[in-house]
Amino acid sequence: MHFLTSLLRSWGPIAQHPSRHDLLHSSLGAGLGLVVAGLLVWVQPGHLLFLFAPLGASAVLVFAVPNSPLAQPWSAVMGNTISALWALALLWALPGLPSPWPEALAVAGAIAAMLLCRALHPPGGAMALLVALGAQTLAPLGWRLVETVFLLTLSLVLAGLAYHRATGRHYPLRHAAPSQARQPAAGRLALSSDDLAALLTRFDQSYNLSPEDLGDLLAAAEEQAIQRRFAAVTCGEVMSAKLLTVAPGDSLETVADLFHTHLVKSLPVVGPQGELLGLLLRSDLFDWLWEGHRRSRWRQLLQGRHPSAATAASLMRKPEICVEASTPLGELLATLAQHRVPFIPVLRGPQLAGLITRTDVIRTLLTLR
């Protein structure tokens, strides 16, 4: 019984169940792609082009797994074309070979040619086999067959590019120059693109994943692991509860003295009930001084008017991010990575309970390792 269970598990499906969106997106896209190829056959004069079966397999890759290296434009177009060209060359060079030698050599040679050209595309093997099996009909077509394979595969790829772009998916995978290629894991992983490519080669996955996709997966797994590890630690346990605050009515001279004495970069502004009203940044205070407010006050005195006293409320700004004391620390890590803020206020309801700085987070990370 254990043997049967193990056999079924190893031979059964390993792919995840598709979502309704993926199901509709892939099947509808493949159908539309083949409609485009069929229209090209229909409108061209003389009916020189014709549909061929491996084009359906190419549609599966282009529309169902567009992130696969096997589905990229170079692989699809050149893989099918090179395979057809190789099979034709084989039939011309060795016309009298008995079956199954033409079929076997056509597929084997097509795989080798695609690998050498870095254009591995599984339907290319089917293309070579189709030419070998239909040698009496297809071999006389010569370059017309190669032209047909090239043009119809190209039309399918262009349809895939337009369809994926219209539906918000990235295709082709690499559409920028190497120096501009996306680096999704930059700053999150201590691995370069070369390191990721070496890992794929080590585990024989170069034709299933790209280095960019592997980087995304590793970075997402790392973030998930961090969130799970720190799910039991709340922001209230990590925050600094000793607060240096100012009231909205405090003068800017008082605020400047606090900045000079404590060498902090920002101060929270709290109301009479301890509620957080805003933040006052050292840089904003310096800007106010450099804008010549003191000179304008002298001008107001000379004109017989009393200057209005500048207060913390006049320069404070709304905080970019606030968290509740009960928020898990793991949820805060991604926020800190995306925002450059000196600290994050921690609230209990509307009241300011504490502050979390990057130093507090690093100290906690080192403690829990």
The residues of the chain scoring below 50 in pLDDT are: 175-184, 186-187, 298, 300-308
Domain membership flag for residue 9: no
Residues 259 and 140 in one domain: no
Residues 49 and 162 in one domain: yes
Look at residue 108 in the predicted model and tell me its pLDDT: 96
Look at residue 292 in the predicted model and tell me its pLDDT: 58
| Interval 75-112: pLDDT, tens | 999 999 999 999 999 999 998 889 899 999 999 999 99
Domain membership flag for residue 180: no
Look at residue 297 in the predicted model and tell me its pLDDT: 53
Residues 26 and 161 in one domain: yes
Residues 26 and 151 in one domain: yes
Looking from the CA of 111 toward its CB, the CA atoms found within 13 Å total 9
> How is 318-366 classified by DSSP, letter by letter?
--S--EETTSBHHHHHHHHHH---S-EEEEETTEEEEEE-HHHHHHHHH
Residues 35 and 158 in one domain: yes
Ramachandran class of 292: left when φ > 0, alpha when ψ lies in -120 to 50, beta otherwise: left
Look at residue 164 in the predicted model and tell me its pLDDT: 93
Look at residue 197 in the predicted model and tell me its pLDDT: 80
| Kind of pairing between the strands at 276-281 and 323-324 | unpaired
Domain membership flag for residue 219: no
Domain membership flag for residue 172: no
**Do 57 and 123 contact (CB within 8 A), yes or no?**
yes
Domain membership flag for residue 228: no
Picking from 166, 190, 217, the residue at the C-terminal end of a domain is 166
Domain that holds residue 330: 235-368
How many distinct structural domains can be found in the chain?
A: 2
C-alpha 237 chain-centroid distance: 33
Which CATH number do you get for residue 363?
Answer: 3.10.580.10
| Interval 124-175: pLDDT, tens | 999 999 999 999 899 898 889 999 999 999 999 999 999 999 998 888 876 4
The encoded tokens of residue 302 equal: 């000379």
Look at residue 188 in the predicted model and tell me its pLDDT: 56
Picking from 166, 201, 225, the residue at the C-terminal end of a domain is 166
**Distance between terminal CA atoms of the chain?**
43
Angstrom distance (rounded) from CA 59 to CA 289: 65
Report the residue count for the chain.
Answer: 369
Residues 83 and 161 in one domain: yes
Domain membership flag for residue 197: no
Residues 364 and 244 in one domain: yes
**Do 338 and 316 contact (CB within 8 A), yes or no?**
no
Domain membership flag for residue 269: yes
CB-count exposure of residue 333 (10 Å: 0-12, 13-18, 19+): middle
Domain membership flag for residue 83: yes
Residues 265 and 362 in one domain: yes
- Determine if the peptide bond prior to 342 is cis (ω within 30°): no
Question: Which residue spans within the chain are E strands per DSSP?
Answer: 266-270, 276-281, 323-324, 344-348, 351-356
Picking from 149, 166, 183, the residue at the C-terminal end of a domain is 166
Residues 159 and 240 in one domain: no
pTM (2 d.p.): 0.57
